[in-house]
Copies of this chain bind each other. A is one copy, B any other.
Amino acid sequence: MFGARCARLLLRRCSSLPSTKTSVAPRQLQIREALEVQDPTGCDVKIQGWVRSVRSQKGILFLHVNDGSSLEHLQVVADPCLEPRMLTFGSSVEVQGKLVKSLHKGQRVELAAENIRVVGPCDVLAFPLKYKVHHSLEYLRELPHFRCRSNVLGALLRVRSEATSAIHSYFKENGYTHIHTPIITSNDCEGAGEVFKVEPANGERKPGEEHNFFNIPAFLTVSGQLHLEVMSGAFTKVFTFGPTFRADNSQTRRHLAEFYMVEAEVFFVDTLQDIMQVIEDLFKTVTDRVLAKCPQDAVLFHKRIAPGHEAKLEKMLKNRFLIMSYTEAIEILERSHQEFTYKPAWGQDLQSEHEKYLVRHCGDVPVFVYNYPYDLKPFYMRDNEDGPRRTVAAVDLLVPEVGELFGGSLREDRVDFLQSRLQRLKLEDTYQWYVELRQFGSAPHGGFGMGFERYLQCILGVQNIKDVIPFPRFPHSCVL
């Protein structure tokens, strides 16, 4: 009883401790919490983490300890007599002591150790991460189970976690209902590329017999959009944030077989401008929040991985996104003096080289390109009726370096337009349910999707998409 009261009194002096919970001394803190203490008047704390450096200087032992809660390490100072056996780079430790003001520059607090315990030793010769070495992202990719212990992947995954949280918050604060759209689906004809099929691993199949666990062929989803449309017809504003899949054999720095998409649908929306407004607001709000919450992590990327990227990102955030029609975009490309591998022409898809040119042309500010040719886009996009099957109300957001980051559209809500398009594609039976959505209390609506990994590439300046996801899956690789 007395012990607990004592501890509480002590903790009050550490007035800025982020949580108000009390416990028996020493208080266990995450390193992020310890570093945030404003007035560390010698309160007793315990921290746990991994040693990032050990050195002795003028009879004092200095340790840097990191527990993944922040990029910054906590400096531990100790009498060398406290140094335990096997205290090396990479070992896990538990340190007890007093949190005090630091006299060393670059840090506010440090931990004056009273006890240091090596919890798990680390054979530094065998450990593939080395002290004071800036391992390349390529090298780290070869270490799927250890790369998260590097500064750079640590920073990346903290940003990813914070961005995930900020996206959920954004939609919640704006009145969207979160929906888990299905991963396994019987829809396979959205034209979004190659799909993976799903079957039981141990399914016994007789020769010539079609084995299907679900009675019908089942695939991994390429998009939750159609399912979200079902839900927007009940909740008005809905979003999903989950894994999507492509079986394309593309081995570029922009493609993965498994990646995450943020998708939203809004009912009662008449114009593409409404969709563009949500996209721009989402991008800017989430990015502002991530930069505010993970400033050091962002700086690591903007200084070390992509020098100069901070200014580029600031430009994206400070300026209104630009808007041009697909037809204008083609005209700009046709007027340009650049030699393109693919000659730009109305009716043709924008290639990566075209997207890059357009973004540069716009002064490296994100640009919305809208109203794409009818024949380039899937059946569910709304016909603009600006000519016989000429354009649909689709919009892509192109951003510097990454290219297409968002894709959205108004959905075809008119039963007759939708039915005749499905008939031409011989899909009217498959999408009977989708047509029915338009027959009972429908309304104009639209939505968009954002590739989450591309978003992270865009804000951090990371070249290769394999470096922004914990465990990348791509052709010929499914490690762990």
Residues of A within 8 A of B (CB): 30, 32-33, 48-51, 67-69, 90-92, 94, 119-123, 126-127, 144-146, 148-149, 153-154, 157-158, 160-161, 164-165, 168, 172, 175, 177-188, 194-203, 213-220, 226-227, 230-231, 233-237, 242-243, 245, 247, 249, 257-258, 260, 267-268, 413, 433-434, 436-444, 469-471, 473, 475-480
Least CB distance, A436 to chain B, in whole angstroms: 7
Known A69-B235, A92-B442, A199-B199; 18 more pairs at CB < 8 Å: A30-B175, A69-B175, A94-B268, A144-B433, A145-B230, A146-B436, A154-B235, A157-B231, A157-B235, A158-B177, A180-B260, A181-B471, A187-B480, A197-B200, A198-B198, A200-B247, A213-B257, A214-B476
| Inter-chain contacts of A145 with B (CB < 8 A) | 230, 433-434, 436-437
Picked from B201, B437, B480, the residue with its CB within 8 Å of the CB of A247 is: B201
3 smallest beta-carbon distances between A and B, as pairs? A68-B235, A214-B478, A200-B247
Q: Who on chain B is nearest to A30 by CB?
A: B175
Q: Who on chain B is nearest to A442 by CB?
A: B120
Contact across chains for A236 and B69 when beta carbons are under 8 A apart: yes
Contact across chains for A475 and B214 when beta carbons are under 8 A apart: yes
Q: Who on chain B is nearest to A270 by CB?
A: B119
Least CB distance, A187 to chain B, in whole angstroms: 7
Contact across chains for A258 and B175 when beta carbons are under 8 A apart: no
Picked from B120, B183, B413, B443, the residue with its CB within 8 Å of the CB of A183 is: B183
Bound CA span A480–B431, Å = 9
Bound CA span A179–B33, Å = 21
Contact across chains for B479 and A186 when beta carbons are under 8 A apart: yes
Contact across chains for B122 and A441 when beta carbons are under 8 A apart: yes
Contact across chains for A48 and B443 when beta carbons are under 8 A apart: yes
| Inter-chain contacts of A146 with B (CB < 8 A) | 436, 440
Contact across chains for A196 and B196 when beta carbons are under 8 A apart: no
Q: Who on chain B is nearest to A168 by CB?
A: B168
Q: Who on chain B is nearest to A452 by CB?
A: B180
| Inter-chain contacts of A218 with B (CB < 8 A) | 473, 478
| Inter-chain contacts of A443 with B (CB < 8 A) | 48, 92, 119-120
